[in-house]
Structure 1
Amino acid sequence: MSIRHGLLALLEAGPRYGSQLRTEFESRTGSTWPLNVGQVYTTLSRLERDGLILQDGQDDGGHPLYSITDEGRGELKGWFAQPVDRTSPARDELAIKLAMAVGAPGVDIRAVIQAQRHHTVKAMQDYTRLKAKALTDGPADRDEVAWLLVLEQLIFQAEAEARWLDHCESRLVRLAEAAAREPAPAPTGAKAPTNATSRPRARR
């Protein structure tokens, strides 16, 4: 998540102060990724240091206002034009957990998958209810449309995760079946079987 560019996008609409930016960011994303005020002001300080924003007076309540600069608009334009890089994906805790569970002693990986599937399906149902409520609340303004986009992404992500968990379970079943068909290894030090077709040597 790019807080840096999100704040620049909000400042493109006009001067804002820190807590106002926090409120608008969370309103636009449905509080999916909540921010604290300290995080906002730390980011604003860095943006100001980089020449992308500047302090632009105060509002009636004495809050310092920030405005985007021409350099900031160029940075924002480039961010919107550039695809999000997927060649270095962020670490996914679930994928790491299942990878570590494979072959781990005492871990029932199918139970891990079942527990995660239950949680994922419940989350998907919750997101779907939120979407239905948003659609029946009346005409959507800009922030509500933005929240719907985020919400639908969460729904699609949960659906994909549920399908992936089904795939993982199917793969484990196939591996278990293949392992069951393999002959058991001979015990260490076992004697070679006697050749049944050979005849005992005659005594002279």
Structure 2
Amino acid sequence: MNDVSPIKKGRKFDQVLEGARAVFMADGYEGSSVDAIAKAAGVSKATLYSYFADKRLLFMEVAKAECCLQIEEADAILCDECDPRRVLCVAAERMLEFFLSDFGQSIFRMCVAESDRFPELGREFYETGPKLFRQRMVDYMRDAVEDGHLVIDDLELAADQFAELCKSHLFSELMFGIRKTTTEAERQRVIDGAVDTFLARYGAKQA
């Protein structure tokens, strides 16, 4: 099994990370060059390589940082005492935005492509991103059950089902190259359908 090289942090670490984020967000993993990242970060390639041995490690560090931001936003959403439909709609919007972004798809492709050579990458990303978001959803659903808004026996399964409903067909079609973009109307259709389906199954009115 290959080990992920340790990441060295120093005075310009955050500067490198921010420059890399800007480039990766604009061009995705495959379209981003180390030269472009170094230029955006305002550092030399030597400085960049002193922190990250290769672009792959840098991309995953940016991915983890981005997920932390998503989770912080999710905390604000899921702690809101709005009705479940409002909370779930906003959560679905945020999840779909990430799933369908070039950045989100690049993360998925990289974790799959490197799963044999570097299985730790996918596991580390999952632990610091999707797994934490899933736990936030579980915690929210538990509170909603206690408040009488939802009726759920298996919280983990329900959280996973909601995430899959939010992907719908759009994620697969983008990943397989069937389409390049999605429209706002298409995304809203998926969000409304995900929330309607989830509440039809788990809404308190079904009790």
Output the TM-score relative to the length of structure 1.
0.31
**Which has a greater percent of helix?**
2
Larger Rg: 1
TM-score by length of 2: 0.31
- The structure in which a higher percent of residues are strand is 1
